[in-house]
Amino acid sequence: MAALLARRPTPGAILLILAVGLGVGAEAARVDRECMARERMPFRCRQRYEPPPALAPWRERAGAAIDRYFLRDTGLVRALLIADTRGLDPEMRDRYADAGIVHMLSISGLHVAIVSGAMLMLLQAVRVPAAAARWTGLALVALYVLVIGAPPPAVRSAVMVGAQVVSMALQRNTSPWAALAWGGGIPLLYQPRTAVDLGWQLSVSGFAALIAGRRLAERLAPDWLDGWRRKLASELIVSVVASFATAPLVAWHFGRVSLIAPFANLAAGPIVAVMQPTLFLGLALSWWPAAATLVGDASIPMLRAFDAVAWAGASVPWATLHAAPSRVTAVALGVACVAVLAACVRHFWERSALMALAAVSVAALTPTPGSGALEVHMIDVGQGDAVAVRTPRGRWLLFDAGKGDERRDMGRFTVVPYLRARGGPLVLFALSHPHADHVGGAVSVLKAMRPPAYLDAAFAGSSPPYRRSLVEATRVGAVWRRARAGEVLDVDGVRLRILAPDSAWMVGLKDPNLSSVVVRLEYGISTMLLTGDAERPEEDWLLARTPELLRADLLKVAHHGSGTSTSEAWLTAVRPRAALVSVAARNFYGHPDPAVMRRLVASGASVLRTDQLGHIVARTDGTGWTLEAAGVRWRLH
């Protein structure tokens, strides 16, 4: 093992490692795609790390100790000590992502390395012989990693610490690249899906950037600098390289790139270096309540300082670029990062730099993904609505964003991942009406996707989630416009004909359902009717006002199939060939109404329900529709 660790990887070995990594990653991505195709909520396909059953009780006891002694900061300390991010507030996660230090929110190789270094210093301070201190420190690190459930980034760091101890015991030099290969590869042996875990990705790419950045700093740090000035310049160079290396991962998972990240990391680094051993000490002393409480109180200023860095970084104007990269763009930027790291460590860096430039050019010039066809995606958000329309140029129009409450924000955990996984920008958010199961997820969608336009009917007496969405729309620069009956919008050749409501109809209305925005989608000769939660009075108003415009191939069934909508007269006018129902399984409203379902079947429409089929996709080239659900695709006749 020592010989392997001391050996500098050859080009052939590097290619082999890359091939294995790509194979594992491709298999894991395939599993994720299959999961996303059948799951109601895509976030379940990429759940947070769960420890092996044998280690779960240890982790639970550690979490209980944190809850007792860190009180108000429980969520943050759980993330920093035991990789449990369930208690993190979404606003906090966004703040740290904007500042470029989101990788510090959960335990990583950096945290374990800091704890290891602190334990080694403590053992040497009490006069433990150097060799014994190294082996004792390694044993304590291994115990710590087991207690917190052996998350992949921590395992990677522990393996690298072990490699260093073994090499020093055998008096052999250790290649950092070989140690990284061992540390990054071992977690893949017992859990291949680790390859698509964000923590593992950030840990491996971050340490690779650390190696390359230090090599670059040795060459670029000015000779006339000495002491702390040279150290500061070197750390800034390393931070820039690390920020660049992890930028594609952060952009893919969080939809943003932080320009302030190098400086935020530079400011947060010393705080974490002191804070992490302190938090670990509090956990280690949990058997002694008085001491653990004292340490917990002492850590409060450090936790506040750490959060202050995130606040300051996120508050800098224009410090964050929001992005929605496609797979091609993400891969191209990944290649650019590898090439930049190679340029940092190679004496002859020109070829690597040219490769990085070429990859960045590919990413910049890659067109927005588009199939040349219109796609309508009824996203399964449970008891709510979220219909995403993809234009022939690959841009998205989103009608409603599902519900959002204290338990689950469907905008954050379902709609945004669904759109990002398919690539392309969101150019319009349209709200049918301000009920929580339609607008609850809007804030998260607006924050993540930043559409330039927001369309709705401006119903008087609106709900708190609706008001929050308007505030967020203003913050992200989305231009609000009122939906007006008779208006026609054209986006990439797709016509959005607004049929309802108008201001005269809305006068005196008290039920937001009756003011639902009703839109006729037109592309070529293919049509679809989007109805929100329109009920029979609004249907009757439309039948009297524009009956000739109600005919449509596809019907988004109003109000989740409720008996208050979809009358016989309505179906006679629409004559849909397929009816799509967005509804949750076993919901307590009793939706969809059996009588409505019978009417739809009797009218000759094919009925597709999200509670039975999950996500539903309809595609058209302007002449006919193809439907896809539950992994089956068929032509609509």
The strand pairing partners of 378, in sequence order, are 387, 616
Please choose, from the candidates 530, 529, 497, 502, the residue with its C-alpha nearest in 3D space to the C-alpha of residue 515.
502
- Which pLDDT score, from 0 to 100, does residue 420 have? 80
pLDDT (average), residues 352-357? 86
pLDDT (average), residues 6-13? 46
- Which pLDDT score, from 0 to 100, does residue 369 have? 60
Q: Is the pLDDT of residue 281 over 50?
A: yes
Least confident stretch, 60-69, 140-149, 336-345, 365-374: 365-374
357 in any annotated domain: no
428 in any annotated domain: yes
Whether pTM exceeds 0.85:
no
637 in any annotated domain: no
Residue 19's pLDDT band (boundaries 50, 70, 90)?
very low
Helix runs in 126-151, H state only: 130-147
Least confident stretch, 114-128, 359-373, 592-606, 608-622: 359-373
Buried b or exposed e, range 216-239, using 16+ CB within 10 angstroms? bbeeebeeeeeeeeeeeebbbbbb
Distance set, CA 323 to CA 92, 216, 239 (Å): 19, 29, 21
Three-state secondary-structure class, residue 461: coil
20 in any annotated domain: yes
Least confident stretch, 17-21, 226-230, 314-318: 17-21
- Which pLDDT score, from 0 to 100, does residue 109 have? 65
Q: Mean pLDDT over all residues of the chain?
A: 83
119 in any annotated domain: yes
β-strand 578-581 against 606-609: which pairing, if any? parallel
Residues 54, 132, single domain; the answer is: yes
How far, in Å, CA of 568 to CA of 75, rounded?
53
Residues 432, 303, single domain; the answer is: no
Q: Is the pLDDT of residue 225 over 80?
A: no
Q: 211 versus 380: which is more confidently predicted?
A: 380
- Which pLDDT score, from 0 to 100, does residue 21 have? 47
- Which pLDDT score, from 0 to 100, does residue 397 have? 96
Q: Choose one of 282, 297, 324: the last residue of a domain.
A: 324
Residues 526, 599, single domain; the answer is: yes
Q: What are the tens digits of pLDDT across the range 23-35?
A: 444 444 444 444 4
591 in any annotated domain: yes
366 in any annotated domain: no
Percent of the chain at pLDDT > 90 equals 34
Residues 320, 396, single domain; the answer is: no
pLDDT (average), residues 476-480? 92
Q: What is the CA radius of gyration of the chain?
A: 28
Residues 270, 172, single domain; the answer is: yes
Residues 285, 424, single domain; the answer is: no
Q: Is the pLDDT of residue 561 over 50?
A: yes
- Which pLDDT score, from 0 to 100, does residue 222 have? 72
Helix (H) or strand (E) holding 74: helix 74-82
- Which pLDDT score, from 0 to 100, does residue 129 have? 87
- Which pLDDT score, from 0 to 100, does residue 161 have? 80
Exposed, middle or buried: residue 501 (CB in 10 Å: 0-12, 13-18, 19+)?
buried
pLDDT (average), residues 373-379? 94
Residues 141, 257, single domain; the answer is: yes
Residue 406's pLDDT band (boundaries 50, 70, 90)?
low
Q: Is the pLDDT of residue 39 over 50?
A: no
Q: Is the pLDDT of residue 409 over 50?
A: yes
- Which pLDDT score, from 0 to 100, does residue 536 have? 94
- Which pLDDT score, from 0 to 100, does residue 372 have? 76
Host domain of residue 540 = 374-631
For 23, how many CA atoms within 13 A lie in the half-sphere containing its CB? 9
**Residue 405 belongs to domain with CATH number:** 3.60.15.10
636 in any annotated domain: no
How far, in Å, CA of 520 to CA of 537, rounded?
18
- Which pLDDT score, from 0 to 100, does residue 431 have? 95
Residues 378, 320, single domain; the answer is: no
Q: Is the pLDDT of residue 85 over 80?
A: no
Q: Which two tokens stand for residue 122?
A: 């403590």
Percent of the chain at pLDDT > 70 equals 88
Domain total for the chain? Answer: 2
The strand pairing partners of 617, in sequence order, are 377, 628
Q: Is the pLDDT of residue 496 over 90?
A: yes
Q: Choose one of 264, 293, 324: the last residue of a domain.
A: 324
Residues 604, 507, single domain; the answer is: yes
Residues 163, 58, single domain; the answer is: yes
Residues 385, 320, single domain; the answer is: no
Residues 392, 510, single domain; the answer is: yes
- Which pLDDT score, from 0 to 100, does residue 157 have? 79
- Which pLDDT score, from 0 to 100, does residue 370 have? 62
Q: Choose one of 264, 291, 324: the last residue of a domain.
A: 324
pLDDT (average), residues 84-89? 76
Q: 484 versus 118: which is more confidently predicted?
A: 484
